[in-house]
Structure 1
Amino acid sequence: MHKILVAFDGSEPSKRALQYVIDLFRDSARPLEIHVLNAQYGPVIYGDYFTSRMVEDVNEGLLTQANSVLDEAAILLSAAGVAHETHAALGNVAEQVNEAVKQLGCDTVVMGTRGLGSFGGLLLGSVANRVIHEVSVPVVLVK
């Protein structure tokens, strides 16, 4: 079984990446197991003015947002008849993708890229670039 992790943030490039996986699912002779991940950066807290309850509330809000984004992916996959699982996470996106790859046993990551070009990517860095360097499996970037 081929296990694919789709990093999905709801952007147009990530929707194209999801469509790529849907097309792959239709055309593949091999069974595919699809996992969709949305990782939200957790809050950065400075100072002593935040209670643990405030941090929990922020984290709950971020997970709600992640699940909302994942619902959109789930609708598209279900409409195409693609079985899948969704996963929400908090933290650095590249690190969370790497953790999901390890925990789920995925052998490929598929994700969209914003297409900033080499100069923009050099200046800004990119999540896709960090994922490529973080994970030990092939990464398919969809523009």
Structure 2
Amino acid sequence: MSKILIPIDDSPSALRALAYLVKKIQTGRENAELHLVNVQFPLHGGVSTFIDAAQIRQIHQEDAVKALAGARSVLDEAGIPYQTHVFVGEPAEVLARFANEQGVDEIVMGRRGQNQISTMLLGSVSLKLLNLAKAPVLLVK
């Protein structure tokens, strides 16, 4: 059984990648342990002056639940088991660290994420992940 990481950020692209993987599993071409991973961006700009750490954790958790809801629904409906993980940090670095530490066999992700402005300014999460992760990265259009 292969261990597959699927980054989920509530973007249509992430859900297309998940749909691709579900189809492979349902046709018997893939037998996998799925790990849905959502990475929340840290809050900056002195936010901690106005909001305490517990409230910040709560905000991240609520945002992660919303981001993962569509993917969870797809997998629940298909009867495919999965695990969810939520982290805070720079997405490519967090995803690569998780993949490397967990020994995932493959990362399946959408080509474009939720934050297209940051992609234009800072570079693509998928491109960074290609360079940081030891596992193969499959980008789904």
TM-score range relative to shorter protein:
0.7 to 0.9
Deviations 1:9-65 (A, max 9, x none): 111111100001101212335521111001011112449x717x6233123201211
Q: What is the number of residues matched between the two proteins? A: 136
Query: How many percent of aligned residue pairs carry the same amino acid?
Result: 31
How much does 1:84 deviate? 0.7
| Paired residue type of 1:50 | T
TM-score normalised according to structure 1 size: 0.83
| Structure whose alpha-carbon radius of gyration is higher | 1
Unaligned runs of 5+ in 2: 114-118
Deviates more, 1:104-113 or 1:53-62: 53-62
Task: Name the SS of the counterpart of 1:106 in structure 2.
Answer: coil
1:67 aligned residue (43, 65, 68) = 65
Asked if 1:25 corresponds to 2:10, the answer is: no
Whole-Å separation in 1 of the counterparts to 2:102 and 2:65? 18
TM-score normalised according to structure 2 size: 0.84
Change (3 A) 1:41 1:78: same
Asked if 1:110 corresponds to 2:100, the answer is: no
Map residues 1-143 of structure 1 onto 2, 5 A cutoff: 1-29=1-29, 31-46=31-46, 50=49, 54-114=52-112, 124-143=122-141
Change (3 A) 1:42 1:123: closer
Whole-Å separation in 2 of the counterparts to 1:87 and 1:96? 11
| Corresponding residue for residue 118 of structure 1 | none
Whole-Å separation in 2 of the counterparts to 1:2 and 1:59? 32
**Contact conserved, 1:63 with 1:89, CA < 8 A, in 2?**
no
Unaligned runs of 5+ in 1: 116-120
- Name the Cα RMSD after superposition: 2.3
**Contact conserved, 1:38 with 1:66, CA < 8 A, in 2?**
yes
